[in-house]
Amino acid sequence: MKCNPRTSLVQQESITTLGQMANTNTIYWTTKQRRVLFVSNGATNMSSKIKPGDLTARLLADFRALIASGEIKPGARVPPERELAKRFAASRSSLRPVLKMLENVGILSQRVGDGTYLNNDATGILSVPLNFLILLDGVSLIEVFDARLMLEPELAARAAQSASAKDLETMRETFAAFKENPVDADINFHLAICRATRNRICIRMFEAIHKAFAQGMVLTAGLAPNRALDFHRSIYSAIHLRNTDDARKLMTEHLLHAKGVLLQAYLEDDQQLRAGPPK
């Protein structure tokens, strides 16, 4: 696809690199409008669909374009606010809340005396909208638990295929930790299984769900720590023996048992509320 004569290409090297990665995608930067158009299979999207008056959306799209082009890499320092404002043809007062928004959702981080950096760890990015989803849509812990039931048995089965010796060691280390802190040990065991899959999308989804489920983890691990540890040992054995079917089955049984503990805690709490304070 050819560029309009009035449009100049920027970041030629980055564009070339992206072109090598995906021949169907080309990036154009329109000098006049100061925005990036992403062209894929002849169709424009992203900022080309943004209404001209929506400055915040345009600035978010422009910043996203810097990341997509490879000009700002994960872990790298972000250009100063003054430079970004000039580049995006926007005032610093308009840019500042956008940068703060990106910081709040975990994309950027501030280092005192050293500037702003693009995070190389996306752990917090999914957890923020998920937490708001739970608050605004009234999503219950039971629904979050059901999401775990859909995800984690398959993660356990995959871990049985791909877990390394180090992954297995990390899982084992959580057993002793159960005596001191069953909640952290519980989370770390499940996290070790997820990381053993080597799938970054699943890892991020897992981390976001577990952060949203922190309250439920406290209840389930605290109320039945010994039973949870028994399940963990059995799941570990299946993963260690590379038995995908048993790993999947045992993880399902573990989560169903924990869900029952959570429901029982809810029922007992509800009965106490109905009974009122002790006389």
Q: What is the pLDDT tens value at each position of the chain, 279 positions in all?
A: 444 444 333 333 333 333 333 333 333 343 334 443 333 333 334 444 545 458 888 888 888 888 888 888 888 999 999 999 999 999 999 899 889 888 877 788 888 888 899 888 655 565 566 666 666 666 777 888 888 899 999 999 999 999 999 999 999 999 999 888 888 898 899 999 999 999 988 888 887 777 766 666 666 666 666 888 999 999 999 999 999 999 999 999 999 998 888 887 777 665 543 444 444
> To the nearest 10°, the Cα dihedral for 191, 195, 200, 205?
-20
pLDDT of residue 270: 55
The three-class DSSP label of residue 149 is: helix
Summarised one tens digit per residue, pLDDT across range 77-96 is 999 999 999 999 999 998 99
Long-range contact set of residues 110-119: C-beta below 8 Å, sequence gap at least 24 = 114/77, 115/77, 115/78, 115/80, 116/77, 116/78, 116/81, 117/75, 117/76, 117/77, 117/78, 118/67, 118/72, 118/73, 118/74, 118/75, 118/76, 118/77, 118/78, 119/74, 119/75
**Which residues touch 152 (CB under 8 Å, ≥6 apart)?**
190, 193, 194, 206, 251, 255
In the chain, the domains with their CATH numbers are 12-118 (1.10.10.10), 124-275 (1.20.120.530)
